[in-house]
Structure 1
Amino acid sequence: MLLNAYLIFDGDCRAAFEFYRRCLGGEIVAMHTYGEAPAEEAMPAAVRDKIMHARLVVDGQVLMGSDNTPECPAPYEGIKGVSLTLGVDTPEEAERRFDALADNGTLRMPLQETFWAERFGMLVDRFGVAWMINCEKEAPPS
């Protein structure tokens, strides 16, 4: 079984996924617009260049997303009640990823040492996505 995050954006999915590619590395393996769909002629002109499906693969992990459209059953209300957690191996990587994702975002908790982690911090990026960056301490020998 796979469990992946699928983010919905209010028209800036392409920019968000380009940003995540720069911050996290990896490869965007899909970036399909509503205008590329088989029923393209049925799509309103205003949404044809919006993203129907994006897929970023980073170290074998997948992040997916799309843009909301006026045809969706509910108006866009932002991404609420969830954080993406990025687990990294070194404090240096934690600092690099945290700083990159925090660019033009909002800090919730500065990146710092905690009782469980070499580095842990929380932020909301410029696209409204909440992130937790975690570099766990080595477990004590048992």
Structure 2
Amino acid sequence: MTMKLIPYFVMAGNANEAIEFYQEALGGKLEYKQTFGEMPENPEFPLPEEAKSLVSHATVKFGETDVMFSDSFPGQPHQSGNQVTLCISIDSKEKAEHIFNALKEGGQVSMPLQETFFSPAYAIVVDKFGITFQIYTEKAMSGS
């Protein structure tokens, strides 16, 4: 089993600016970036035109450390204090379920553990101490 804890910065519509700032200030290298407009469309949640250029997910490497970024999903509240989360990146759905169940005890589930287009098991949970965790299960590589 492989597991990493990755800082995840959730921005209020200025993720592109933050990515550029931190790359310059800390010598980071953009590894991946996707906008909300590049995601598969969901007819149940139409995306406002002005949100299509916002960052849905990005990864910047600083030395040996990855930091992930996104803008708040359109319509989701954003306030200072909740913009930094820890993303637990793991390669096992079973371990993701175990971690999710442990963290939700006395906490609050923001998004139940479920399959998404980008992960076979993804969830967001605020633990009993008020720390927000994203649980991200990596997709199995083909041929494994």
TM-score, normalised via structure 1 length: 0.51
Percent of aligned pairs sharing the same letter: 30
User: Structure 1 residues 39, 27: CA separation in 2 closer, same or farther (over 3 Å shift)?
Assistant: same
Cα distance per residue 1:4-36 (max 9 Å; x no partner): 111111000010011000011121111211011
Counterpart residue number, 1:50 = 54
- Determine the C-alpha separation between the residues in 1 that align with 2:7 and 2:27: 17
Which residues of structure 2 form unaligned runs of 5+? 85-144
Q: Which runs of 4+ in 1 moved over 6 A?
A: none
Asked whether 1:66 is paired with 2:70, we answer yes
Counterpart residue number, 2:118 = none
Q: Root-mean-square deviation (CA), in Å?
A: 2.4
Pairs aligned (count):
81
- Determine the C-alpha separation between the residues in 1 that align with 2:32 and 2:22: 14
Q: How many angstroms does 1:61 deviate by?
A: 0.5
One-letter amino acid of the structure 2 residue matched with residue 68 of structure 1: S
Counterpart residue number, 1:34 = 36
Counterpart residue number, 1:21 = 23
- Determine the C-alpha separation between the residues in 2 that align with 1:68 and 1:28: 19
Cα distance per residue 1:85-130 (max 9 Å; x no partner): xxxxxxxxxxxxxxxxxxxxxxxxxxxxxxxxxxxxxxxxxxxxxx
- Determine the C-alpha separation between the residues in 2 that align with 1:55 and 1:18: 12
Q: How does 1:1-142 map to 2 (within 5 A)?
A: 1-39=3-41, 42-72=46-76, 75-80=77-82
One-letter amino acid of the structure 2 residue matched with residue 10 of structure 1: A
Maintained 8 Å contact 2:54/2:71: yes
Maintained 8 Å contact 2:10/2:83: no
Q: How many angstroms does 1:80 deviate by?
A: 5.0
Q: Partner of 1:63: helix, strand, or coil?
A: strand
Q: Partner of 2:30: helix, strand, or coil?
A: strand
